Structure 1
Amino acid sequence: MCNCIFSIFNKLTHLRFSESSYENYVPLLFDFPSRRFSSSSLLVLNIKIQHFSQLLYVLDGRFSQLHTLIVDLINNVLSTDLIENKEKISNLKCFVLSCAWEISRYKDLLLPLIYRMSNIEKLSLYLTIYINDKFIDRNDLKKNIINHLPQLSMFTFDIRSLMFINNQMNLPSKKDIEETFRDFRYTKIISYVDYFLEKKMGQCHVFSYPSEMPYYQNITNNFPGGLYEYVRFISLYDEYPFEHEFFIKISQSFPFMEKLSLINYQSQKHKQSYELINDNYNSTIVKYNYLITLDIEKVHDDYIEEFLFNTKTYFHDNILIYINYKSLERVTHNFTRDVTRINCAKINKIFLFGEKNHSNSLQDYFPCATIY
Structure 2
Amino acid sequence: MNRSNVHLLDLPDEILFVILKKLDNIDVLYSLFDINNGRLNILVQENIFSNILKFVSIDNTSIIDRFCIDILPRIHHNVKCFIFDPVFMERILLATDYPNLTKLKIVDFQKEIAFNYFTNQSSLRSIFQEQITNLILINNDKGGRRGSSDIYDEGRMECSPKIYTKDVYDHILTFFKNLKKLTIIEPSVMLYPPLSLHYLPSTTFSSPILTHLYININGLHDCLCLLDGRLTKLTTLCVNVYNIDIEISPEIVHNMDKSFNLKCFSLQLFCPSQDYDEIVSLLRRMSNLEKLTLNISIYNRKRFIDVISGADVQHDILNYMPQLRSFTFYICTYVGPVTSPYKLSSEAIQLTLANIRQPHISSMVNYVHSVVHFGEGFRAACSIFSLPFQFDYLQDLGNHFPNIIFSYVTYLLLRDIIPFEHEFLVRIARSFPSLKHLCIYNKKSQVSDGLMTLSSDNCQLHSIIAYPHLTILDIKFSHKDYVEQFLNETKTFVPCLTELEVRVDHLKDITKNFTREETRRNCSNVKKLSTIGPFAHSEDLCHYFPSLYK
CA distance in 1, matches of 2:203, 2:333: 37
**Which of 93, 118, 124 matches 2:293?**
124
**Which of 341, 349, 352 matches 1:180?**
352
1:309-324 equivalence runs, <5 A: 309-317=488-496, 319-324=498-503
Cα deviation, residue 240, structure 1 = 0.9
**Which of 75, 81, 102 matches 2:249?**
81
* Equivalent residue letter for 2:223: L
- Tell me whether 72-81 or 337-346 shows the greater mean CA deviation: 72-81
1:31-70 equivalence runs, <5 A: 31=198, 32-33=200-201, 35=203, 37-70=205-238
Taking a change above 3 Å as real, the CA distance of residues 169 and 101 of structure 1, as seen in their structure-2 partners, is closer
* Equivalent residue letter for 1:296: I
What is residue 367 of structure 2 aligned with on the other side?
195
CA distance in 1, matches of 2:173, 2:368: 49
Show CA shifts across 1:221-272 (max 9, x none): 0022422222121111111111111112112222222211111121222238
Contact 1:7 1:36 in 2 (8 A): no
Contact 2:195 2:215 in 1 (8 A): no
**Which of 306, 312, 315 matches 1:140?**
312
- SS of equivalent residue, structure 2 residue 424: helix
- Tell me whether 234-243 or 28-37 shows the greater mean CA deviation: 28-37
Contact 1:17 1:26 in 2 (8 A): no
- SS of equivalent residue, structure 1 residue 193: strand
Cα deviation, residue 167, structure 1 = 6.4
What is residue 7 of structure 1 aligned with on the other side?
174
- SS of equivalent residue, structure 2 residue 292: strand
Structure possessing the higher relative contact order (Cα contacts under 8 Å, 6 or more residues apart): 1
What is residue 142 of structure 2 aligned with on the other side?
none
Cα deviation, residue 160, structure 1 = 1.0
**Which of 254, 261, 280 matches 1:91?**
261
Taking a change above 3 Å as real, the CA distance of residues 8 and 292 of structure 1, as seen in their structure-2 partners, is same
* Equivalent residue letter for 2:181: H
Contact 2:413 2:439 in 1 (8 A): yes
CA distance in 2, matches of 1:256, 1:325: 29
- SS of equivalent residue, structure 1 residue 361: helix
1:100-111 equivalence runs, <5 A: 100-107=270-277, 109-111=278-280
Confirm whether residue 277 of structure 1 aligns to residue 455 of structure 2.
Answer: no
Higher helix share: 2
CA distance in 2, matches of 1:121, 1:29: 27
Cα deviation, residue 91, structure 1 = 0.5
**Which of 392, 405, 408 matches 1:214?**
392
Percent identical among aligned pairs is: 36
Instruction: Give the superposed CA RMSD.
Output: 2.5
Cα deviation, residue 358, structure 1 = 6.5
Contact 1:219 1:236 in 2 (8 A): yes
* Equivalent residue letter for 1:130: Y
- Tell me whether 121-130 or 28-37 shows the greater mean CA deviation: 28-37
CA distance in 1, matches of 2:416, 2:180: 46
- SS of equivalent residue, structure 1 residue 181: helix
Between Structure 1 and Structure 2, whose CA radius of gyration is higher? 2
Cα deviation, residue 145, structure 1 = 0.9
* Equivalent residue letter for 1:277: Q
Contact 1:118 1:149 in 2 (8 A): yes
* Equivalent residue letter for 1:128: S
- Tell me whether 66-75 or 187-196 shows the greater mean CA deviation: 187-196
Contact 2:314 2:356 in 1 (8 A): no
CA distance in 1, matches of 2:436, 2:367: 28
Cα deviation, residue 355, structure 1 = 4.9
Higher strand share: 1
**Which of 271, 275, 283 matches 1:114?**
283
* Equivalent residue letter for 1:81: S
CA distance in 2, matches of 1:166, 1:242: 22
CA distance in 2, matches of 1:57, 1:346: 45
Show CA shifts across 1:65-92 (max 9, x none): 1111111112122523342443111000
* Equivalent residue letter for 2:379: M
Cα deviation, residue 325, structure 1 = 0.8
**Which of 156, 166, 172 matches 2:328?**
156
Q: Which runs of 5+ in 2 are unaligned?
A: 1-167, 370-375
- Tell me whether 310-319 or 234-243 shows the greater mean CA deviation: 310-319
Contact 1:194 1:203 in 2 (8 A): yes
Show CA shifts across 1:7-30 (max 9, x none): 332222211023343532354365
* Equivalent residue letter for 1:114: L
1:19-30 equivalence runs, <5 A: 19-28=186-195, 30=197
- SS of equivalent residue, structure 2 residue 354: coil
Contact 2:314 2:355 in 1 (8 A): no
**Which of 488, 502, 511 matches 1:332?**
511
- SS of equivalent residue, structure 1 residue 155: strand
Cα deviation, residue 294, structure 1 = 0.9
Cα deviation, residue 314, structure 1 = 1.5
**Which of 463, 477, 487 matches 1:308?**
487
- SS of equivalent residue, structure 1 residue 101: coil
- SS of equivalent residue, structure 1 residue 102: coil
Contact 2:366 2:396 in 1 (8 A): no
Taking a change above 3 Å as real, the CA distance of residues 221 and 318 of structure 1, as seen in their structure-2 partners, is closer
Contact 2:272 2:298 in 1 (8 A): yes
Cα deviation, residue 318, structure 1 = 5.5
What is residue 382 of structure 2 aligned with on the other side?
204
- SS of equivalent residue, structure 1 residue 310: coil
Cα deviation, residue 287, structure 1 = 1.8
Taking a change above 3 Å as real, the CA distance of residues 333 and 164 of structure 1, as seen in their structure-2 partners, is same
